Amino acid sequence: MAESLVIAPQWIGDAVMTEPLLRRLQARGERLTVGAVPWVAPVYRAMPQVAEVIEFPFQHGGLQLGARRRLARQFQGRFDTAYVLPNSLKSALLPFLAGIPQRVGYLGEARVGLLTHRLKNPGNKPPMVAFYSALSGQTEGLAQDRPALRLPPQAMEAVLAAHGLAPRSYLVFAPGAEFGPSKRWPERHYAALAADQPLPVLLLGSGKDAAVCEAIARDGGAHCRNLAGRTSLADAFALIAGARAMVSNDSGLMHVAAAFGIPQVALFGSSSPLHTPPLNDSARVVWLKDDPHYQPPLECAPCFQRECPLGHHRCLEDVAPARVAGLLQAASRS
């Protein structure tokens, strides 16, 4: 069996969208080891086709050449192929230094000498699942690929029991978005939506989202619980997998919910669901850019900026909680 090393992206949402690629590779007989930074590793532990996950000791940013050389020595002679999923130059260094014979990836940041098999960088923003799946060398069915994550039922139930929850008895809201304010539905809207729900609402996110989630919990009613920064990522996955439904911005946790097949409402502002949609038949997407009833039209979207360049954030400010409540109710029934 061929031994393959997969160099994972550094963002949760991107990691989820690599799952169809890994499924393709495993189906043709490759044994997959994924190298990932610690905050992304739980995504790959929820993929049954991954045989091993190695947590990289690299920090975000910086070349860290010494650490890469030390790890490369451990990998020498072990792998036949490396798939380099990020586009950065530094992500291609480890397979090169390890002498892995086949090194596959996009040209990215001028990586001609580091990769043996290079795909041209796309000239637009293609759907991310197809972008990653193309690295398999196969072209059939890329548009139909959908990520899927799995957790052992007993693992999910243990996490829920620790929080006093039963499966499908609560909702999850994920109000954060690592990219910036232009992707975040206002906290007052989340609070109004939470206050209107008949089921308990769990607020999930990282420690960076704790203050926003605390404000939502304060105004969202006694049944609204702030768990942002208080769970591991693996436990957050279990809480999402056990939820009745989820509401989120365009974020990594949105893609996690989609990959678990959880009914969801996904709110898009500065970004585009044409590029990174939740690939889930039970998902309802809100994007005022393509709403013919919204006036005046949002000519500025998608801007892909961290902050609204025009200062009004209409693309999310104008999404009413009542509209999301109706979509959430419909998603919960699906």
Rounded-to-integer distance, Cα 216 and Cα 204, Å: 11
Which helix (H) or strand (E) covers residue 187, if one does?
helix 187-195
Rounded-to-integer distance, Cα 220 and Cα 192, Å: 6
Position 293 pLDDT exceeds 80: yes
Query: Which CATH number do you get for residue 168?
Result: 3.40.50.2000
Residues 168, 104 share a domain: no
Residues 92, 26 share a domain: yes
Output the pLDDT for position 111: 87
Region of 328 on the Ramachandran plot (φ > 0 left; ψ -120 to 50 alpha; else beta)? alpha
Position 216 pLDDT exceeds 90: yes
Among candidate residues 175, 276, 171, the one with its CA nearest the CA of residue 228 = 175
Question: Which pairs with CB-CB distance under 8 Å and at least 24 residues apart come from 325-328?
Answer: 325/193, 325/196, 325/197, 327/265, 327/284, 327/286, 328/171, 328/193, 328/197, 328/245, 328/247, 328/265, 328/284
- The predicted-structure confidence for 138-170, as pLDDT tens digits, reads as follows 888 877 889 999 999 999 999 999 999 999 999
pTM to 2 decimal places: 0.94
Residues 192, 127 share a domain: no
Position 239 pLDDT exceeds 90: yes
The SS3 assignment for 196 reads: coil
Residues 136, 190 share a domain: no
Report the amino acid identity of residue 176: G
Domain, as residue range, for 20? 2-141
Structural domain count of the chain: 2
* 146 within some domain: no
* 147 within some domain: no
Residues 167, 23 share a domain: no
- DSSP code, position 213: H
How many residues comprise the chain? 334
Q: Which of 116, 141, 166 is the last residue of a domain?
A: 141
Q: Which of 80, 109, 141 is the last residue of a domain?
A: 141
Please give the structure tokens belonging to residue 301: 């979207």
Residues 178, 77 share a domain: no
Residues 169, 299 share a domain: yes
- The predicted-structure confidence for 201-211, as pLDDT tens digits, reads as follows 999 999 999 99
Residue with the larger pLDDT of the pair 125 and 273 = 273
Confidence of residue 277 (pLDDT cuts 50, 70, 90): very high
Position 43 pLDDT exceeds 80: yes
Q: Which of 118, 141, 164 is the last residue of a domain?
A: 141
